[in-house]
Structures are given as C-alpha cells and as structure tokens.
Structure 1
Amino acid sequence: MSVSFNHTIIASRDRHASARFFRELLEVDEAPSWGPFVNIQLPDGVLLQFAEPPVEIQMQHYAFLVDDELFDRAYQRLTEGGIEHWADPQMTRPGETNTGHGGRGVYFKDPAGHAIELITRPYL
C-alpha cells in the first residue's frame, strides 16, 4: 500500500473563523463537519479539521503548495485584508514575498497564530 497524507487537526481559538479564513484564502469548499471539528477539504483529498482545544495553543507551521494564479489571488486577499506578512520565516522582510526555490513564497499568521506559508514551487 502506498502512503498519502489524509488529515490533520489544527488547533484554533475559533474553529469557525479559522476554517472560514482557510476556505477563503485557498478557495476551497466546506466539507462535512462533525463533533468538535469544522472541516475543509483540499483538492488532493486532505482534510483540515479545525478544533478548539482546552489547552493553550502552541504555534505550528503549515505550508501550502499553490499554483501561481491562486498565489496571486491569495496574496491580494492578504494585502487587502491588512494581514501582516513576510518574505522569510524569521519575519525580517515585512510586506514582501520571496523567490526561493524557483517560485514565490510568503509567510503570515492565521487567526490562531500558526505560521502559514504559501509557495508556488516545492522545495524538492
């Protein structure tokens, strides 16, 4: 059997707000939700499940590979929404994108404070 990534739970302060943020940014539809989860499904079938844990949220990093057209639209939404963003993970180049690995990339934080990265070319 081959291996593929199926789902992950993303800790959120407000699971509905986080799911909405990612749905709008990544232009994906709602998915059926149950229990403590609000779900979205990426085009490759990966399920992102947003939940409000009863503990302090620790920052995680999530990177999404997107095509150039979606990157342009998502970056426009970030800038129009006044979302602080950086060209680098150290957050030393605010308001910029990068051209690493033969593509473009940007870093920002989601509503729960997770470090999110959009890239247009995979690292490998």
Structure 2
Amino acid sequence: MAVTLNHTIIHAHDKAATTQFLTEILGLEPPRTLGPFTVVQVGDTSLDFLETEGEISSRHFAFLVSEAEFDEIFARILAHGLPYWADPSRREPNAINRWDDGRGLYFEDPNGHLLEILTRPYGSGGLDAEHPNPLLGRP
C-alpha cells in the first residue's frame, strides 16, 4: 500500500465558522461532525478541525486546483473582499504568481492559517519554464 496522508488536526477558535469558510471558498462538500471534530474532506485527506480557546499557531495549507477551479475560488475570494498575496511572505498584495507557468495565490482563514491555491505543483515547470518557481536553484 502506498503511504498517503489520511488526516491532520487543525485548531480553530470557531470550528463551525472556519469549516463553513473553507468549504465555501474552496467549493467543497459541507463539513461533517466526527466526535469533537468538524471534518472537511479534501480528496483522500480530511482536515479535522478541533475547537480551542488558546492561542493558535499559524500553519500553511496548499491546495492543488485546476485552472477552472482557480478561477472559481479566486472569484469567491474577490467577492468576500479577502486580502490575497502572490507570495507566502505577503510582500506582493493583490497579485497572483505565475510560478511553474501556472497560477497561485495565498490568503488567510479566520484563524490566521495561510491557505494557498496553485495550479501547478512546485518545481513542475522546471528551470525551462517562462516563470520558474523561485525556490528552484535555492539551497
């Protein structure tokens, strides 16, 4: 059997609002409840949200999407007036990157987790891409 990521636990201050936000923006099936978790299914992997009153350390989640899905998600980001960036350092606001000759952008969920949508996996365009991923060639 191949190793796959089955699930990960994500802390949220309001798991219902967070999962509603995520499923609406990404166009996913509604969340389900499993014990203390509110679960969002993303392909074969589930994101299991657990409510906490404590401090939440920001995490990063990247979602590989088709070109059509990118357009749909981006339209929802704009409709919600969400800030977005072309880079994970948030130095390029209101921009989309073209890394690996695809498209990508970053935005935050209600808990400050950094979400990313991208149409090409990192490095997939190689150094011959018109817009090579800036991570290529870096140590």
TM-score (norm: length of structure 1): 0.93
Partner of 1:84, secondary structure, is coil
Whichever residue aligns with residue 112 of structure 2, its letter is: G
Aligned to 1:13: 13
| AA in 1 matched with 2:66 | D
Amino acid at match of 1:17: A
Query: 1: CA distance between counterparts of 2:53 and 2:31?
Result: 24
Q: Which residue of structure 1 aligns with residue 92 of structure 2?
A: 93
| 1:24 and 2:24 correspond | yes
- SS of aligned partner of 1:16: helix
SS of the equivalent of 2:70 reads helix
Structure 2 spans left out of the alignment, 5+ residues = 124-139
Partner letter of residue 109 of structure 2?
D
Aligned to 1:59: 58
C-alpha deviation, 1:31, in angstroms: 4.5
SS in 2 for 1:69: helix
Tell me the equivalent position of 1:117.
Answer: 116
| Runs of 4+ with >4 A deviation | none
Q: Aligned to 1:25, what secondary structure does the other structure show? A: helix
Q: Give the gaps of 5 or more residues in structure 1.
A: none
Hey, what does 2:79 align to over in structure 1?
A: 80
Q: In the aligned structure 1, how far is the partner of 2:55 from the partner of 2:64?
A: 28
Q: CA shift at 1:9, angstroms?
A: 1.1
Higher RCO structure, 1 or 2 (CA under 8 Å, sep 6+): 1
Structure 1 residue aligned with 2:105: 106
Q: Per-residue deviation at 1:26?
A: 1.6
Report the secondary structure of 1:78's partner residue.
helix
Deviation (angstroms), 1:118: 0.5
In structure 2, do the counterparts of structure 1 residues 38 and 46 end up closer, same or farther at CA, with 3 Å as the change threshold? Answer: same
Classify the secondary structure of the residue corresponding to 1:85: coil
How many aligned positions are there? 123
Pair 31,45 (structure 1): closer, same or farther in 2 beyond 3 Å: farther
- 1:35 alignment partner in structure 2: 35
CA RMSD of aligned residues (A): 1.2
- CA shift, 1:54, in A, is 4.3
Identity %: 41
Larger radius of gyration: 2
